[in-house]
Homo-oligomer: A and B are copies of this chain.
Amino acid sequence: MNEAAFDACVDAHADEFLAQLIELCRVPSVAAEGGPAMARAAGLVSSLCRWAGVSADLVPTDGGPPIVLGQAGDGPRRLLIYNHYDVQPPDPLSEWLSPPFEPTVRDGILYARGVADNKGNLVARLAAARAYQETHGRLPLRLTFVLEGEEEVGSPHLDGFARAHADLLRAQEGCIWEAGYKDEDERPAASLGLKGILAVELHARTADVDAHSAAGGLYPNAIWRLTEALSTLRAADGTVLIDGLLDHVRPPTAAQMAMLERLPYDAAAVQRRMGIRGFLGGLTGVPALRRLMFEPTVTINGILGGYTGPGSKTVIPSRAMAKLDIRLVPDLTPELALQLLRDHLARRGFDDVTVIPAEGGLMPARTDPSAPIVGVVLAVLEEVYGVAPNVYPSMAGSGPMYQLCQAYGIPAISIGVGWAHSHTHAPNESVRVADFIAGIKVMGRVYGRFADQVI
């Protein structure tokens, strides 16, 4: 491929590419809320595919938004691209400096819900296909785009999609996974795995009706019960206390520990940026990275019970609820973690606390670092950015990599256009415009190099 010509084409169309991203970010495609915005986003993604010279099929799901299946190019090699067009809920709204669905550029940074996770990457990869075809007339490999709308709610329909397209998936030779973020040291990051996840609600019910708190010394209280149950699940230092869960954790190999040793991690910088005083258990350096990538976690995402309005209400609440996510590493599965959680609570007499799993638990996944697509991507990253990338044996986050890739033998590597301050899942999510443009140049080279590579 003529990389200089490709880069010139990208630079010439930079404003147009940014405009496409902004248009997509205007759609409030919050998967947890659903509604007409999901179909609107899917339609817009289809249009973007066609704009990029990629055929687009809307594959319906049973009750969810459609999966956009895009195909383009020709040649002996096959590369899968996975992204999602849904986003996290934007609240707390009051902390956004500009509205989450009114994309705004300030000082070269584009702010919008979903711009880093995951619309910036989705548009960059399509824009690279368009620029490649504009520069060279044709794509020299067969690209398959799987662009779903339920990643942020656990991808409940992706597994069914994958089973229905098993032959197509088995033919893929590599996958570019959804997202990546430059580290604090400004090096691009590439990740070779994901944690799994189990999301649950715990519901405590201790009486038929709320009662006057004068009886607070005698009557059970749903919030106290929920608090007591929660306090058995995790130590204050972050260690998971669910009976037996840690027995299923595969320890990192020596090679993986060596990868951790090479990674930069400025814990103090992260803490300053987030406004936090220290990490759980006082972890820093390699132990902090090990926890992020090789240890399960239990996080309370939300809690609600009783009277929370203005003033006081002296009541004993009969019901309370908490939302939790449990991040999983090999060899934990969502089913196993759910059973261990239920057994743990039952063993302690918490039969007044009901565990309700959310749909879409995810398996953990890991990619072999010697896979050809890994070598191509790492070389391209070093060339475009002028520095060696940081290679993570896993991300700390979760995604359906197992369902779409590992189950079909596809090695997957995750890269993207985010930066260290992208604030994913939080107010003021952002990408830098320059990173978005550089990400298009990375993807064009990946298409060209992977097509040429002899396996």
Q: Give residues 190-235 of A contacting B (CB, 8 Å).
A: 195, 197, 199, 206-221, 223-224, 227-228, 230-231, 234
* A311 interface residue (CB < 8 Å to B): yes
Whether the pair B209, A292 counts as a contact (CB closer than 8 A) is no
* A263 interface residue (CB < 8 Å to B): no
Across-interface contacts of A438 in B (CB, < 8 A): none
Q: Mark A299-317, 1 if CB is under 8 A from B, else 0.
A: 1111111111111111111
* A321 interface residue (CB < 8 Å to B): yes
How many whole Å from A234's CB to the nearest CB in chain B?
7
Given contacts A32-B310, A300-B306, A303-B304, contact A327 B216 (CB under 8 A): yes
Residue on B nearest A209 in the bound complex, by CB: B426
Which one of A89, A214, A220, A424 has the highest number of Cβ atoms from chain B below 10 Å of its Cβ?
A214
Q: Mark A301-339, 1 if CB is under 8 A from B, else 0.
A: 111111111111111111011110101000000000000
Whether the pair B218, A279 counts as a contact (CB closer than 8 A) is yes
How many whole Å from A300's CB to the nearest CB in chain B?
4
Given contacts A306-B323, A307-B302, contact A312 B154 (CB under 8 A): yes
Given contacts A301-B312, A303-B223, contact A292 B211 (CB under 8 A): no
Whether the pair A280, B219 counts as a contact (CB closer than 8 A) is yes
- For the complex, what is the distance from the CA of A214 to the CA of B280, rounded to whole Å? 14
Across-interface contacts of A358 in B (CB, < 8 A): 311-312
* A91 interface residue (CB < 8 Å to B): yes
How many whole Å from A425's CB to the nearest CB in chain B?
4
* A372 interface residue (CB < 8 Å to B): no
Q: Which of B207, B231, B279 contacts A219 (CB 8 A)?
A: B279
Whether the pair B231, A32 counts as a contact (CB closer than 8 A) is no
* A186 interface residue (CB < 8 Å to B): no
- For the complex, what is the distance from the CA of A397 to the CA of B294, rounded to whole Å? 51
How many whole Å from A307's CB to the nearest CB in chain B?
4
Whether the pair B297, A216 counts as a contact (CB closer than 8 A) is yes
* A254 interface residue (CB < 8 Å to B): no
Whether the pair A218, B238 counts as a contact (CB closer than 8 A) is yes
Q: Which of B214, B230, B296 contacts A395 (CB 8 A)?
A: B214
* A283 interface residue (CB < 8 Å to B): yes
Whether the pair B327, A210 counts as a contact (CB closer than 8 A) is no
* A298 interface residue (CB < 8 Å to B): yes
How many whole Å from A93's CB to the nearest CB in chain B?
12
* A88 interface residue (CB < 8 Å to B): yes
Q: Mark A370-398, 1 if CB is under 8 A from B, else 0.
A: 00000000000000000000000001111
* A33 interface residue (CB < 8 Å to B): yes
Q: Give residues 115-174 of A contacting B (CB, 8 Å).
A: 152-154
Residue on B nearest A218 in the bound complex, by CB: B279
Whether the pair A307, B91 counts as a contact (CB closer than 8 A) is yes
- For the complex, what is the distance from the CA of A313 to the CA of B159, rounded to whole Å? 21
Whether the pair A218, B311 counts as a contact (CB closer than 8 A) is no
Top 3 A-B residue pairs of the complex, sorted by shortest distance between their CB atoms: A208-B275, A32-B311, A216-B299
User: Which A residues form the contact surface with B (CB < 8 A)?
Assistant: 31-33, 88-89, 91-92, 95, 152-154, 195, 197, 199, 206-221, 223-224, 227-228, 230-231, 234, 236, 238, 274-280, 283, 288, 291-292, 295-318, 320-323, 325, 327, 352, 358, 395-398, 423-428
Q: Pull 18 A–B residue pairs with CB atoms less than 8 Å apart, ordered by A.
A: A32-B309, A32-B313, A153-B311, A209-B427, A212-B424, A212-B426, A216-B325, A217-B296, A217-B396, A223-B322, A227-B230, A299-B314, A300-B306, A301-B306, A302-B313, A303-B303, A303-B304, A304-B304
